[in-house]
């Protein structure tokens, strides 16, 4: 599909980083309002530009779901255009560098793809949604470079960050959730409900809008499952998600039938058909790699059990 406008990568980063930051899970504590208002600026054109950045090239799918996004945010909420006035690109760039989880991915992915700017839209989209420029990157090379950065930072707290995770490495947020974060290693605990909820909420999930009111949408979205020692995806099921936060929306004129990206049950942006397809494909791939690692841990017997206890204690 053709892009109606050129979405700035820093603002795309803001849309996806906002939800966990506002909830206090990652990034600087003084960032939420800046991310919210900056992410809303130009939100009506977000998916059109992002789809042109590489998702269609990654999947061959015809991206059509974001075609309506050029109509303008002000007509839907009146807040998007005004909301970004207080945040400059410099503000966003300074904030992005303080996201110690995401920033190394962006920086390393940019370097390995020969892109000068870690907040280039192509890099940001590949990190959050998969596909695109990340497909030219060797996963193990990326993983080794990432470990060299985050391993010393994590120290004893995340002792599971060893070269063994290179088998499941990928230059995207999905790997960060399932491979780097400790939660997948807690699924074999007596009650996996908590870890499963965190994993399902933290991953970027796709959903198709079926209903909307002023502040929420209902989408049909595949949920994360944990059955017989394996992670998987359910069939599409209804999920109510926040569309407006603090009077601001990142997809103010979204309509039933369109695809959206969800982060912690909040709408981060529209998705094109191609982006949704790529996100699903890379999520399924990551789940399979994670399942293989979990199976190896169980097969290790007492050593694997000791590792699980260690991660549980560290968490």
Read off the pTM.
0.82
Report the pLDDT value the prediction gives residue 315, as an integer from 0 to 100.
Answer: 52
Radius of gyration of the chain (CA): 19
Report the pLDDT value the prediction gives residue 92, as an integer from 0 to 100.
Answer: 87
Report the pLDDT value the prediction gives residue 42, as an integer from 0 to 100.
Answer: 59
Mean pLDDT by 10 residues, the chain (315 residues): 50 96 94 89 50 37 31 32 55 92 97 97 98 98 96 77 94 98 94 98 99 96 98 98 93 97 98 98 98 94 55 53
Report the pLDDT value the prediction gives residue 63, as an integer from 0 to 100.
Answer: 33
Report the pLDDT value the prediction gives residue 53, as an integer from 0 to 100.
Answer: 40
Report the pLDDT value the prediction gives residue 246, as an integer from 0 to 100.
Answer: 83
Report the pLDDT value the prediction gives residue 58, as an integer from 0 to 100.
Answer: 36
Q: Which residue, 135, 137, 134, 129, is CA-closest to 63?
A: 129
């Amino acid at each position: 599909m053709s892009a109606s406008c050129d979405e700035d990568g820093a603002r795309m980063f803001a849309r996806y980083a906002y939800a966990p930051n506002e909830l206090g899970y990652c990034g600087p504590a003084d960032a939420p309002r800046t991310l919210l208002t900056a992410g809303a600026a130009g939100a009506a054109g977000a998916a059109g530009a992002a789809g042109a950045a590489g998702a269609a090239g990654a999947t061959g799918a015809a991206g059509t779901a974001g075609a309506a996004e050029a109509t303008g945010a002000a007509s839907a909420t009146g807040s998007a255009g005004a909301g970004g006035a207080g945040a400059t690109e410099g503000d966003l760039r300074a904030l992005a560098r303080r996201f110690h989880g995401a920033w190394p991915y962006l920086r390393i992915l940019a370097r390995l793809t020969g892109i000068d700017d870690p907040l280039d839209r192509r890099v940001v989209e590949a990190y959050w949604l998969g596909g695109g420029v990340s497909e030219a990157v060797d996963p193990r090379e990326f993983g080794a470079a990432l470990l060299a950065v985050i391993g010393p930072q994590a120290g004893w707290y995340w002792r599971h960050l060893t070269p063994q995770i290179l088998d499941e490495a990928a230059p995207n947020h999905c790997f960060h959730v399932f491979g780097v974060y400790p939660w997948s290693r807690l699924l074999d605990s007596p009650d996996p409900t908590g870890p499963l909820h965190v994993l399902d909420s933290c991953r970027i999930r796709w959903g198709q809008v079926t209903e909307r009111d002023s502040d929420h949408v209902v989408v049909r979205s595949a949920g994360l499952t944990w059955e017989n020692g394996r992670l998987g995806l359910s069939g599409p099921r209804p999920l109510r998600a926040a569309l407006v936060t603090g009077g601001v929306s990142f997809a103010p004129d979204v309509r039933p039938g369109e695809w959206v990206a969800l982060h912690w049950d909040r709408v981060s942006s529209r998705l094109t058909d191609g982006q949704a397809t790529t996100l699903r494909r890379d999520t399924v791939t990551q789940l399979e790699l994670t399942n293989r690692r979990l199976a190896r841990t169980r097969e290790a017997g007492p050593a694997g059990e000791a590792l699980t206890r260690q991660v549980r204690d560290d968490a």
